[in-house]
Amino acid sequence: MTGPAPAWITPGDPDGPDFSVCALVQSQDRHERLVASFSRRGFSPETTEHLAADNRNGNRFDGYSWQRALLTRARGRYVIFCHDDIELIDQGQDDLLARLDDLTALDPGWSLAGIAGGRFRPKAHTRPMLSFHISDIYGQDRRRGAMPARVETLDECFIVMRRSRPVLPSLDLSGFHFYGPDLCLQAELQGGSAWAVDFHLRHHGRGTKGPSFADCRARFVAKYARIFPGRTLHCTTGMVTFPADGADEAGPSP
């Protein structure tokens, strides 16, 4: 007796569409603006599928749980995880594909590509060194740093993942903050890398941190102080230091 025929898999088997655009959606209006801007800028139904994590009627997903749920459904070669309040303006699909091709030539093993992050310097340091190109409430067409730049943190507004090399968020963190830096550190622990690339878009977000920010930050620090004692991270939301003794940041000095 023999069983059913298996599906034989070889390396580099073809993928689905080029892009899965995954958004964490609280506002359908904002998301419709996002989808329309992608359509205007060359992301066609032939190359792009749109997936929406449905938080329209309350937070059924948080920042650490939605990528996992959408990744099991996404078929794209590149999976974009973004806020619902971004809008493409002067750059589009051809620009993004060109930036990602450039990045692949530079670092074939890249795992994550965002548009704003803190430079990769896995030691203690104090001088902020961010890289970004963005239009947001702080100004139009703002630039800082050279790109592409290898980073150790990424802003959550726009992060591209390769479906062939996925990175999953921490299971022991929750909330709506620090999940971009968490993804970068998980990529690093896996042996992969994260980069900021020059892909200009508008982020309509207000940038408010909210009352849960301090709590998310404390749990993020408590987790990673055990793994990276003494390291400093520069996030787009500010600096974070993991105490050298691995203890909680607010605890006593050694």
**192 binds a copy of itself, rule: CB under 8 A:** yes
CA 52, CA 155: separation in Å to the nearest integer?
A: 19
Q: Which of 189, 214, 218, 239 binds a copy of itself (CB under 8 A)?
A: 189
Give the tokens for residue 226.
């055990």
**73 binds a copy of itself, rule: CB under 8 A:** yes
Comparing CB distances to a copy of itself, the nearer of 39 and 241 is: 39
> Is residue 61 within a helix (H) or strand (E), and if so which, with residue range?
none
Q: Which of 121, 144, 150, 163 binds a copy of itself (CB under 8 A)?
A: 163
Find the binding residues for a copy of itself in span 81-100 (CB under 8 A): none
Place of tokens 């548009």: 115
Look at residues 132, 119, 102, 130 and name the one whose alpha carbon lies nearest to residue 203.
Answer: 132
**190 binds a copy of itself, rule: CB under 8 A:** yes
User: What backbone phi and psi angles, to 5 degrees, belong to 221?
Assistant: -65, -45
**15 binds a copy of itself, rule: CB under 8 A:** yes
At closest approach, how far in Å is the CB of 176 from a copy of itself?
Answer: 16
User: What backbone phi and psi angles, to 5 degrees, belong to 145?
Assistant: 75, 160
Give the tokens for residue 91.
């750059």
Place of tokens 């749980």: 65
CA 153, CA 179: separation in Å to the nearest integer?
A: 9
* Region near a copy of itself per CB under 8 A, out of 29-37, 131-139, 208-216, 243-251: 29-37
Comparing CB distances to a copy of itself, the nearer of 116 and 187 is: 187
Q: Using CB under 8 A as the criterion, which residues of the chain lie in contact with a copy of itself when the complex forms? A: 1-11, 13, 15, 23, 31-32, 35-36, 38-40, 45, 49-54, 60-61, 65, 68-73, 109, 111, 163-173, 186, 189-192, 223, 227
